[in-house]
């Protein structure tokens, strides 16, 4: 189901292709700082409702076309409109209008102030493409990035060749890159050990210590915003009852999951998506495994016992099936029978996630509260995978976005995290480290970005052989 249309990207395979061949307006650098990518600078109005982005001059697409403000406008418009299916819809919904001020300046007018707006332009969906007949040309897959797509087999492999005219100094060092999708964890690690591949993402945490001992292999990990979730579609019974949702949250043994699924490579979650490293993270009382409280809420919902299906697949992450089985065991002590449904790897994100009432999931997370909440928890967001709507939460979301007083923003985001924890439709059981491995000949700088997997998924551009 993979498509080159950046509206559709959901995983590291397509993100890797996108970031290798295209650029965004801004990026998170290896030190975790927001810096310019195609934009060299930006400034807001006093109320943060108007933003001016100044583009770097003289940048060319791989077909020789010079980048202009019109390309940026068409690329952002590709994700706007009520009928769009883009995962970045919530990022661009606040944009009321865009206009070019000359060839190298784009003026964004927002419906209300947003102090975090430049962060939203980091999104891997918001790749800048050339304009053709007034629209972004994604089908020819022409970008300003360090590589050019040579061939593409959806869900299987892609071949990239270096763009000899890439505009960034000290980036894009490989002559050619082959990306291969290997869903099986053992096969992926065997490919690295046998030197058939040079880099792998998402190591099998059960055996990663053994992998690290293999000669010529280096294992690394970063702590960022990645979190493991179990979303319930709150418009479907019995998940439309908050007491059922609370019962399931208390029925999850988080510490056991952390140790047995992640093997300690992370920290316990608290049923909201804001990682400890995100500004305005709230230190709320930690929800603990408590079968008696689970039974209490089950009784309030009118159940003595409850049977529910939980969909999972090996592809989701290393240990995704194990996580479901462990949840089944811990929930049994609360009179909850979880029927673990092992779904096909192929098409999981298009056929199971956001389709089946309860499923195993993960989120790469986002660097700001507003971005995370807007994309996955706001009413009507395309990736609101619980179909959850909460009037107070949505009101606070708008208030927090435009509030420039940092103390007031902290109060707003604290309440929002508490609402999600206590009334939302998701179990967030852990914040996980990204664990990846590479050949010793693969080198990178002293720091590796942790906003997404593999150096913010910009490893193809940033890494080299040495």
Q: Write the pLDDT tens digit of every residue in 36-50.
A: 999 999 999 999 999
Q: With beta carbons less than 8 A apart as the criterion, state whether 322 and 330 touch.
A: no
Give me the phi and psi of 359, to 5 degrees please. Answer: -150, 160
pLDDT given for residue 208 in this prediction: 94
pLDDT given for residue 81 in this prediction: 85
pLDDT given for residue 183 in this prediction: 87
Q: With beta carbons less than 8 A apart as the criterion, state whether 63 and 142 touch.
A: yes
pLDDT at residue 277 above 90? no
**96-106 average pLDDT score:** 97
pLDDT confidence bin for 430, thresholds 50/70/90: very high
pLDDT given for residue 224 in this prediction: 87
Tell me the pLDDT tens digit for each residue of 313-342.
Answer: 998 998 999 999 999 999 999 999 999 999
pLDDT at residue 185 above 90? no
pLDDT at residue 269 above 90? yes
pLDDT at residue 382 above 90? no
pLDDT given for residue 29 in this prediction: 94
In the chain, the percentage of residues whose pLDDT exceeds 90 is 89
pLDDT given for residue 222 in this prediction: 93
**85-94 average pLDDT score:** 90
pLDDT confidence bin for 83, thresholds 50/70/90: confident
d(CA 463, CA 156): 23
pTM for this entry: 0.82
Strand-strand pairing, 336-342 and 306-312: parallel
pLDDT at residue 82 above 90? no
pLDDT confidence bin for 403, thresholds 50/70/90: confident
pLDDT given for residue 177 in this prediction: 98
Strand-strand pairing, 266-268 and 426-432: antiparallel
pLDDT given for residue 192 in this prediction: 97
**207-219 average pLDDT score:** 96
d(CA 347, CA 356): 13
pLDDT at residue 163 above 90? yes
H or E element: which one contains 459? helix 459-462
CA atoms within 13 A on the CB side of 276: 13
pLDDT given for residue 457 in this prediction: 97
CA atoms within 13 A on the CB side of 253: 20
d(CA 297, CA 364): 31
């Amino acid at each position: 189901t993979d498509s080159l249309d950046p509206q559709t990207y959901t995983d590291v395979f397509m993100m890797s292709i996108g970031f290798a061949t295209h650029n965004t307006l801004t990026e998170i650098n290896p030190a975790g700082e927001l810096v310019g990518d195609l934009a060299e600078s930006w400034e807001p109005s006093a109320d943060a409702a108007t933003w001016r982005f100044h583009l770097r001059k003289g940048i060319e697409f791989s077909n020789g076309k010079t980048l202009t403000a019109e390309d940026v406008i068409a690329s952002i418009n590709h994700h706007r409109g009520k009928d769009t299916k883009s995962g970045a819809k919530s990022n661009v919904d606040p944009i009321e209008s865009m206009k070019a001020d000359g060839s190298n300046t784009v003026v964004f007018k927002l419906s209300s102030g947003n102090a975090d707006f430049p962060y939203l332009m980091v999104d891997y969906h918001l790749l800048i493409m050339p304009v053709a007949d007034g629209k972004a040309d994604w089908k020819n897959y022409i970008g300003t990035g360090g590589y050019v797509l040579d061939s593409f087999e959806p869900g299987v492999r892609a071949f990239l060749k270096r763009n000899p005219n890439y505009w960034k100094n000290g980036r894009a060092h490989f002559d050619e890159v082959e990306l291969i999708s290997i869903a099986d964890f053992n096969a992926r690690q065997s490919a690295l050990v046998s030197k058939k591949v040079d880099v792998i993402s998402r190591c099998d945490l059960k055996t990663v210590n053994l992998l690290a001992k293999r000669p010529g292999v280096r294992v690394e990990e970063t702590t960022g915003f990645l979190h493991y979730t179990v979303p319930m579609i709150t418009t479907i019974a019995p998940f439309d009852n908050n007491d059922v949702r609370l019962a399931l949250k208390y029925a999850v043994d988080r510490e056991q999951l952390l140790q047995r699924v992640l093997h300690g490579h992370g920290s316990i979650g608290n049923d909201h998506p804001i990682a400890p490293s995100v500004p305005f993270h709230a230190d709320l009382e930690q929800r603990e495994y408590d079968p008696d409280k689970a039974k209490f809420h089950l009784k309030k919902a009118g159940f003595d016992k409850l049977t529910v299906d939980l969909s999972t697949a090996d592809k989701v992450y290393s240990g995704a099936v194990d996580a479901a089985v462990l949840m089944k065991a811990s929930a049994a002590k609360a009179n909850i029978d979880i029927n673990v449904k092992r779904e096909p790897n192929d098409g999981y994100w298009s056929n199971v996630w956001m389709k089946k009432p309860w499923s195993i999931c993960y989120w790469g997370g986002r660097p700001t509260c507003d971005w995370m909440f807007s994309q996955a928890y706001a009413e009507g967001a395309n990736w609101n995978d619980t179909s959850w709507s909460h009037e107070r939460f949505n009101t606070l979301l708008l208030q927090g976005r435009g509030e420039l007083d940092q103390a007031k923003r902290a109060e707003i985001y604290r309440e929002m995290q508490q609402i999600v924890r206590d009334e939302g439709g998701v179990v967030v059981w852990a914040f996980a480290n990204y664990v990846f491995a590479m050949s010793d000949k693969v080198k990178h700088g002293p720091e590796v970005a942790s906003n997404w997997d593999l150096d913010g998924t910009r490893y193809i551009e940033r890494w080299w052989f040495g």
